[in-house]
Structures are given as structure tokens and as C-alpha cells.
Structure 1
Amino acid sequence: MGLLLSSAAVVAGVTAAFHASVGGDVLAWTSSGVLAALAAVHVYWGVGGAWPGDARHEKVEIVVGLPKGSPFPSLSQCLLVAFLLASSAALVLAQRYGRDVLPVSALRLGVWAVVLVLGARGLGGFFEARLRPATRALPYHRLNRRVYSPLALALAAAVAGAALG
């Protein structure tokens, strides 16, 4: 009877480890893919893409939370954000699969920094209207509360899950 219980415990442990590993893989690839897609969108915006909206003046109200007539972030600013997002995507995968790329401690620190930044962006977005009350009148306010902040929090959770899984 004891051997049967021990065997069942080993099987349960191996099964849990397998599912955690597979779940971590799914989270790593999903979060990296979303981060890479967001990087591509920032490059698109940097080179003048108008989506979402029909013109740059609409995009600044939707994406940045500034009134019409405000300048949209420059190419270099958009490319910097794109670089940081793409680097975050690569870091998540490197932490999961490329442990010989950098020291494990550096990869772990980098991934947790990504989690911290995404989490701060996600939480901060819910309080941003207190710091920038003018955003309440813009489409950005609604999108920030319904899309941007929840996406940042979901990405923070997925990256953390990939790191732990």
C-alpha cells in the first residue's frame, strides 16, 4: 500500500512539473509574441502610421492621451519604446530557453524588472486621470482603463508565470 501511495505521489509530482513546464512555455511564447507585436506597432507609429485613427491628431488623443494639435512622440521616442518592448520579449525567451546567453541571475533580474515595469504601467494607468485630469475627456481615458492597463497587467502576470513555470 505504501509503495502504491509513493508511486502515486511521484506520478502526481511529475505530472504537475510537466504541466507547469508546458504552462510556462505557453506563457513565455505568448507574452513574448505580444511584446514583439507591440514593438512592431510602436515602429509603425514612429514611421508615421495613423492607426488607430485616421490622422496623427486623432492618434495622439487615442494613444498618448494628449489633446488634438499636440505633437505625437518622435521617431526616436517610438523606436526607443519599440526597442525596450522587443528586448523584453527576447529576455523572456532567453530566461526560459537561452540560459547560456547571460548569467542566470542577470536573466532572472531582467525578467523581474520587466514584470515590475509592466505591473507599474498597468496599475498606474488606473490612476493616471488623477495626475492628468485632461485625459478624462479623451478616448485615451476609456482605452487606458479597458485595454492598455489590463493588457499591461496581463503581460506582467504572463511574464511572471513564464519565469516561475
Structure 2
Amino acid sequence: MELTYFSLSITTSLLLFSLSLIHIYWGLGGLWPGKNKQELIDLVFGKGNQFPSAFSCFFVAVFLILFSILPIVWIYRVPFLIHPQMTNGIRYIMYFVAIVFTLRGVLGYLPFVTKHWKPIFVYYTKRIYNPLCLFLGLVFWGMAFFT
């Protein structure tokens, strides 16, 4: 059981950290996975013709980095980071993160939400973004409830 928690916490942390690096890349002007600005907007934002500001990308990246630290800190109760009396506070943060990812994962499947998005974004959101968010939500729910 310990190996499962270790694997999940490391996998989740690496995944979230990788996503933060992608947001930093976008904040610095990177275009991947698009070939130009409009294609990037269509693929990762889903609507409009203006990509979020660099500040917005960095803001999301900071939270993804903070979220990436949570699983390891939580599973191992890192003594210099978590005072025993802070455990409930960290657990509530885990619930919050679980809610954020679960909502993002579920909302992306609802037609009244997706009707405003570009078809290519709907395609990727249903096959990649939503399952990824639901996975992350389930991991955070599981860690907060069962560890």
C-alpha cells in the first residue's frame, strides 16, 4: 500500500510540475502545441482570438507548482513543512484542489459549456484535459480522505 501512495504522489507531483512548466513556456511566448498564436488559442483555450496574458500564465504556473508539492508533503508529512497541528489545514487545501480539478474535469463534458468552444478544443478537452483533471481530482480526494 505504501508503494501505491508513493507512486501516486510522485506521479501527481511530476505531472503537475510538468504542466506548470508548460504554462511558464506559454507565458514566455511559446506556441507549442500550436504553430501560431491563433492555433495555440484554439487548442488550449478554446475560444476567442487573444491568448491569456503572460501574467495569467505565470499565475496558473505558480499554483500548479504549489499543487505539485502538496502530494509529497501530505503523504510523507514532511516535518519541517507540516507542523502536526497544520494537518487539518493541509487536508482542507487538498479538498479544495480536488474540487477544482473535479469541476474542471466534469464541466468539460457538459454540452452547455462546450458549445462555446472551438471543435478542436472540445476534441482535446474530452480526450485529454478532462480525463487528466478527473484523475488529478480523484488522486487529491483519495489522499485527503484515505491517508
Instruction: Establish whether TM, by shorter chain, passes 0.5.
Output: yes
Is 2:109 aligned against 1:123? no
Contact 1:114 1:156 in 2 (8 A): yes
What is the match of residue 92 of structure 1? Answer: 71
What is the match of residue 92 of structure 2? Answer: 109
CA distance in 2 between counterparts of 1:99 and 1:157 reads 25
2:42 maps to which of 56, 61, 83? 61
SS in structure 1 of the partner of residue 116 of structure 2: helix
Q: Deviations over 1:62-92 (max 9, x none)?
A: 100014xx11000000011111111111122
CA distance in 2 between counterparts of 1:96 and 1:148 reads 25
CA distance in 2 between counterparts of 1:99 and 1:115 reads 23
| TM-score with structure 1 setting the length | 0.80
Larger Rg: 1
CA distance in 2 between counterparts of 1:162 and 1:28 reads 9
RMSD across aligned C-alpha pairs, in angstroms?
1.6
Q: Decide whether aligned partners of structure 1 residues 158 and 29 sit closer, same or farther in structure 2, where only a CA change above 3 A counts.
A: same
CA distance in 2 between counterparts of 1:132 and 1:35 reads 24
1:134 maps to which of 113, 116, 126? 116
Q: Percent identity?
A: 28
In the comparison of the two structures, how many residue pairs are matched? 142
Equivalences for 1:22-33 in 2 at 5 Å? 22-33=3-14
CA positional deviation for 1:132: 5.1
What is the match of residue 72 of structure 1? Answer: 51
Which runs of no fewer than 5 residues in structure 1 stay unpaired?
Answer: 1-18
**Greater helix proportion:** 1
What is the match of residue 39 of structure 1? Answer: 20
CA positional deviation for 1:56: 1.0
Q: Decide whether aligned partners of structure 1 residues 125 and 131 sit closer, same or farther in structure 2, where only a CA change above 3 A counts.
A: closer
CA distance in 2 between counterparts of 1:26 and 1:59 reads 32
- Which shows bigger deviation, 110-119 or 152-161? 152-161
CA distance in 1 between counterparts of 2:105 and 2:79 reads 28
CA positional deviation for 1:133: 1.9
Q: Deviations over 1:108-160 (max 9, x none)?
A: 11112111111111001111x4135231x431010011110011001112233
